Amino acid sequence: MRGNVTRKVRGALRGTVAVVSAVSAALLVTSCDDGGDAKSGAGQGAAAVRPSPSPTPTSAWDPRPRSIASLGDSITRGFDACSVLKDCPEASWATGTKVDSLARRLLPSPATSSWNFAKTGARMADLPDQMRAAVQQKPQLVTVLVGANDACRNQVSYMTPVDDFRADFESSVAELRKALPKSQLYVASVPDLKRLWTSGRNNSIAKTVWKLGICPTMLRDPDAQDPASEERRAQVDKRVGEYNAVLKDVCGRDKLCRYDGSVHGYDFDGDQLSKWDWFHPSKNGQGRLADMAYREITAVRPSGT
């Protein structure tokens, strides 16, 4: 029985996303009408005309979208937020109806105007298919939180190459723009996996749970300080940084996309992590993700981090 349960835990948790600190905000390209300096014609003897002030920059971004489709992995599915080894989309930061989710804060009827297409275990390679499903609903806002599973693999060599990560993200954005050129895109940064290790390595319960196979590239042998273990963690941390650089770059070239770096920068504490795996957000942690997304989406200007 124990072996059977362990295999089940390994299968459900291996490769799931990490929730740590967190981060993230997209660069929105705002359009503005630059007022030029007007001067009187040469030789007319008239004083130079004062330059007219430039109009206040305006943005096409709508801080109050009326429908939301959310894409990503187990974080957005609310995995381990309500019960062990189960999705709990009703507790999702993005579309949940039993927490103060982004949908509940923005939409008058979240149950009928929000959709959760995220899938536990998803990697960036799965995002194009999720996007194709999402655009069928014609959402005014699409949220994306994905990438931790690309770094959380059995071996460092199995991590998704950065070029592949970029190609699939660019393909997903192109899919959205082709189908819904006016829909907005919120992209959360990949959580800080190394910070999770740093904060949990002194917690005996967390370390025991991590031995079941949670994010092995970062969390395997959490007490090990040998050069090989340090190098393994450094490679994972570097790759997460490269993933976030891709998200920020691609999003920054789309005027209706906002990248949120605050998810990567946020330091989740014990109350904000699932008591079953010390990795995914608890309901409290889901609420913190909703706070960050709401702040970025309703801001007059993007944070640019």
- In contact, 17 and 152? CB cutoff 8 Å: yes
Nearest CA among 33, 8, 7, 24 for reference residue 185:
24
The SS3 assignment for 140 reads: coil
Asked whether residue 49 carries a pLDDT value surpassing 70, the answer given is no
User: Which pLDDT score, from 0 to 100, does residue 305 have?
Assistant: 66
User: Which pLDDT score, from 0 to 100, does residue 9 have?
Assistant: 38
- What mean pLDDT do residues 285-297 have? 98
The SS3 assignment for 259 reads: strand
Distances (CA, A) of 101 to 68, 91, 300: 11, 8, 20
Eight-state DSSP code of residue 213:
T
- What mean pLDDT do residues 71-95 have? 97
Contacts 24+ apart (CB under 8 A), 109-112: 110/68
Asked whether residue 48 carries a pLDDT value surpassing 50, the answer given is no
In this predicted model, what pLDDT tens digit does every residue of 240-268 receive, in sequence order?
Answer: 999 999 999 999 999 999 999 999 999 98
Tokens of 208: 């025991």
Amino acid at 246: V
Amino acid at 182: K
In this predicted model, what pLDDT tens digit does every residue of 209-243 receive, in sequence order?
Answer: 999 999 999 999 999 999 999 999 999 999 999 99
Nearest CA among 240, 244, 258 for reference residue 295:
258
- In contact, 19 and 74? CB cutoff 8 Å: no
Cα–Cα distance for residue pair 86/258, rounded to 1 Å: 30
> In terms of CATH architecture, what is 19-29+59-298?
3-Layer(aba) Sandwich (3.40)
User: Which pLDDT score, from 0 to 100, does residue 145 have?
Assistant: 98
- What mean pLDDT do residues 143-154 have? 98
